[in-house]
């Protein structure tokens, strides 16, 4: 029985277990279905709560020039990896057209322009990011582009008009992802392609992803759903798409939180040491021996600077090994 009242094929099972409080929305909890490899937020935040969350500075918590530079550099490097992944599947399109939902500062659309896409359209509700996208795309005078500074609204777009629709790190934020997929499908041409990238948060461990002491960025993620490769594939196929290629990429999921956990453990051990020195007669626990060699700590907001050129955007994993992101290609079925 679907006790959550949201249209989704994975909600048919009642085997949802409480995981914890949602770090971004204080009135919501996160529940996990281990059989379906899927977790969700309940109750969902209302429209006003979601708007307030994103207006609080979702994209850039560090508004300095350095913070902005890191964000743009990170986005561009990821877009380069994404276009390399997409390109083998879009070579047959003449005068190709693309739609990018949640286009951020426009990196992916710029790269598509450079690869011959004659018309590109992007939706971006964040005004600062939409302005960046407009400025960058305007440099390509030989291509038509439109950046809409608003939430994606499918009703104003013509059906059968796009060869490629991109959804990068958007799907996990949507209150009703099934409705979203039903809106996208008519926009694709007969042999059109859907590209999607989302976090592999079920693989990472849902509890890890919503625990700020393990994942410092948990509070600013705002994710409403937590997918695995199996669960996202099932949702797409139940929504009228055929997933033709799916793989995980980025850092190995076993390594993503390793440094954060070490840092948290060092902090706890440090507190124990201080307390023991102060209250020797009260605390009897032994001092734990700590390895003083400190690992490389990841930036709190998942940003990457220009000097960090070894970030594994194009490291792909197969078999039992998984990466932190899911990258896929799907076609209308």
Residue found by looking up tokens 């902090």 in the block: 267
pLDDT at 41 over 90: yes
pLDDT at 333 over 60: yes
pTM: 0.82
Distance in angstroms (rounded) separating the CA atoms of residues 303 and 60: 9
pLDDT at 304 over 70: no
Strand-pair partners of 233: none
Q: What is the mean pLDDT of residues 274-288?
A: 40
More confident: 266 or 227: 227
Distance in angstroms (rounded) separating the CA atoms of residues 332 and 191: 7
- The count of other CB atoms within 10 Å of the CB of residue 285 is 8
**Lowest pLDDT segment from 151-165, 214-228, 294-308:** 294-308
- The count of other CB atoms within 10 Å of the CB of residue 154 is 17
Could you name the CATH architecture of 9-255+304-332? Answer: 3-Layer(aba) Sandwich (3.40)
pLDDT at 280 over 90: no
What per-residue confidence (pLDDT) applies to 151? 86
Distance in angstroms (rounded) separating the CA atoms of residues 185 and 183: 6
Helix 65-86 vs helix 107-114: angle between axes, to the nearest 10 degrees? 40
Q: How far is CA 168 from CA 198, 287, 297, 308, in A?
A: 6, 46, 25, 22
Confidence tier at 302 by pLDDT (50, 70, 90)? very low
pLDDT at 39 over 90: yes
Residue 118 tokens read as 């004659």
What per-residue confidence (pLDDT) applies to 293? 32
- The count of other CB atoms within 10 Å of the CB of residue 114 is 11
What per-residue confidence (pLDDT) applies to 63? 55
What per-residue confidence (pLDDT) applies to 300? 36
Q: What is the mean pLDDT of residues 97-119?
A: 94
Interval 47-78: pLDDT, tens: 889 888 887 765 555 555 566 777 788 899 99
What percent helix, strand, coil does the chain show, rounded to 5? 35, 25, 40
Give the percent of the chain with pLDDT over 70: 76
Looking at residue 320, the DSSP 8-state letter turns out to be T
What per-residue confidence (pLDDT) applies to 67? 65
Confidence tier at 106 by pLDDT (50, 70, 90)? very high
Across the chain, mean pLDDT equals 81
What per-residue confidence (pLDDT) applies to 268? 47
- CA neighbours within 13 Å on the CB side: how many for 197? 24
Q: What is the mean pLDDT of residues 201-208?
A: 96
- With CA atoms as reference, report the closest residue to 157 among 100, 107, 237, 117: 100
Distance in angstroms (rounded) separating the CA atoms of residues 329 and 323: 17
Q: What is the mean pLDDT of residues 129-144?
A: 86
Burial of 70 (0-12, 13-18, 19+ CB in 10 A): buried
H or E element at residue 38: strand 38-42
Distance in angstroms (rounded) separating the CA atoms of residues 109 and 166: 9
Distance in angstroms (rounded) separating the CA atoms of residues 193 and 330: 6
Q: What is the mean pLDDT of residues 169-191?
A: 93
pLDDT at 329 over 90: yes
């Amino acid at each position: 029985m679907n006790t959550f009242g949201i249209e989704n094929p994975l909600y048919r099972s009642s085997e949802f277990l409480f995981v914890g409080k949602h770090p971004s929305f204080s009135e919501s909890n996160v529940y996990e279905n281990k059989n379906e490899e899927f977790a969700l937020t309940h109750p969902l935040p209302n429209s006003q709560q979601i708007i307030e969350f994103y207006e609080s500075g979702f994209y850039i918590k560090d508004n300095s020039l350095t913070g902005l530079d890191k964000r743009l550099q990170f986005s561009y490097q990821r877009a380069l990896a994404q276009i390399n992944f997409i390109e083998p599947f879009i070579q047959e399109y003449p005068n190709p057209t693309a739609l990018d939902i949640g286009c951020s500062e426009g990196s992916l659309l710029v790269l598509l322009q450079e690869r011959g896409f004659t018309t590109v359209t992007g939706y971006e509700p964040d005004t600062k990011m939409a302005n960046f996208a407009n400025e960058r795309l305007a440099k390509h005078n030989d291509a038509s582009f439109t950046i809409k500074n608003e939430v994606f609204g499918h009703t104003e777009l013509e059906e059968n008009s796009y060869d490629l629709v991109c959804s990068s790190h958007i799907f996990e934020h949507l209150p009703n992802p099934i409705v979203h997929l039903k809106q996208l499908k008519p926009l694709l041409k007969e042999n059109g392609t859907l590209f999607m990238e989302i976090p592999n948060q079920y693989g990472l461990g849902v509890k890890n992803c919503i625990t700020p002491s393990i994942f410092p960025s948990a509070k600013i993620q705002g994710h409403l759903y937590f997918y695995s490769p199996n669960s996202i594939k099932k949702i797409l196929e139940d929504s009228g798409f055929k997933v033709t290629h799916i793989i995980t990429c980025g850092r190995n999921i076993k390594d993503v939180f390793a440094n954060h956990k070490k840092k948290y453990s060092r902090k706890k051990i440090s507190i124990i040491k201080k307390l023991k020195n102060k209250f020797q007669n009260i605390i009897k626990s032994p001092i734990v021996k700590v390895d003083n060699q400190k690992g490389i700590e990841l930036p709190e907001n998942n940003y990457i600077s220009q000097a960090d050129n070894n970030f594994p955007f194009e490291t792909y994993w197969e078999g039992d090994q998984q990466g932190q992101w899911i990258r896929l290609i799907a076609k209308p079925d």
